[in-house]
Amino acid sequence: MPLKDDNEIKADEITPKEVYLNRREFMAASATAAAAAAFPPLAEAQSHGGIPMKIEKHVDYAGSEEQTLYKSAAGYNNFYEFSTNKEDVAPMSKNFRTRPWTVTIEGLIKNPRCYDIDELIKRFPLEERVYRLRCVEGWSMVIPWVGFPLAGFIKLIEPDSKAKFVEFTTIHDPSQMPGQRRDVLQWPYVEGLRLDEAVHPLTILSVGMYGEVLPNQNGAPLRLVVPWKYGFKSIKSIVKIRLTDQMPVTSWMKAGPLEYGFYANVNPEVDHPRWSQATERRIGEFFRRKTLMFNGYAQQVASLYAAMDLRKYF
Ligand SMILES: Nc1nc2c(c(=O)[nH]1)N[C@H]1C(S)=C(S)[C@@H](COP(=O)(O)O)O[C@H]1N2
Ligand SMILES: [Mo]
């Protein structure tokens, strides 16, 4: 969705609450039927049935490639806390509670503290960024994410000079997440970035997609999006961010240290031990296409790895 002009923004003027509550909660929160009745036209204008978000800036980082259909992006998901079957994640996560939600910030920073998700969202202007996302399994999508650069957030929390890495943790709640009642992975899901990767301008924290609040299956209410890395680095439903001087051991490194490295940069030249990474299937297309180095973002990020052997640091 391109940036709206002033008239459209006025027409769509929405209360801050509506921006980040999910639809069910918003409807419950609006006491009168009259208040509820005022909103359907808005939602229909967006046409995906979610809560529209106020977006300040739109940038296409996918070279005008066609966007993946919303129903694919919201209907074919990896989120092992709910299911290992991609089609089952959306129905299984339908009732996942994303409010109240706090994000704990700790480790090597000036002021360890908790942020309420809504307080956090209000602090940063939201941008829409169209990024490619490539899964290590060999499929890819082009998705208009809504979020804000992680760099701004890291700056806000003031890391001390010893901090070298950022560790992210997903919520652990087996009562809501049936996948966490089985040892598919070691729970909770943990991911990590080197600090310079975390503050790279392409790295965002996402709270929405396709102009609307993030659906549960895509990692509501807060997920990471690192477009030059395999999809598994883009951790969903984050409750903790920790700055450390040690490289975090991620869930996928624990699951298969020879198959999943800390860096997990999209690299068509380095095969996964069980399959080639040279091509990918864009969801919605028939023929496979060539996978691009760093998922097509080499110009922006290759310098981060200039001195590294990318076969060793996979
Ligand atoms: N907490 C958590 N985050 C996760 C996953 C997961 O299983 N649990 N799967 C990852 C993988 S493998 C991919 S490819 C992407 C998929 O994101 P999408 O469903 O929004 O396309 O989420 C990543 N983030
Ligand atoms: Mo993935």
Query: 102-107 and 279-282: which strand pairing?
Result: unpaired
The pLDDT profile of the chain, 314 residues, written as one tens digit per residue, is: 343 333 333 333 333 344 434 444 444 444 444 444 444 444 444 579 999 999 999 999 999 999 999 999 999 999 999 999 999 999 999 999 999 999 999 999 998 999 999 999 999 999 999 999 999 999 999 999 999 999 999 999 999 999 999 999 999 999 999 999 999 999 999 999 999 999 999 999 999 999 999 999 999 999 999 999 999 999 999 999 999 999 999 999 999 999 999 999 999 999 999 999 999 999 999 999 999 999 999 999 999 999 999 999 99
Distance 67 CA to ligand 2 centre (A): 18
Distance 271 CA to ligand 2 centre (A): 15
Question: Which stretches of 150-229 are DSSP H helices?
Answer: 150-157, 195-198
Which of 68, 69, 78, 228 has most ligand 1 atoms within 8 Å of its beta carbon, as the pocket-test mutant?
78
pTM of the model: 0.87
Q: What is the set of domains in the chain, with CATH numbers?
A: 5-305 (3.90.420.10)
Rounded to 10 degrees, the C-alpha dihedral 197/224/212/63 comes to 40
Which of 208, 237, 282, 200 has the alpha carbon at shortest distance from 103? 237
Residue indicated by tokens 């804000």: 148
Burial of 32 by CB count in 10 Å (0-12 exposed, 13-18 middle, 19+ buried)? exposed
Pocket lined around ligand 1, Cβ cut-off 6 Å: 77-81, 133, 135, 170, 189, 218-219, 231-232, 234-237
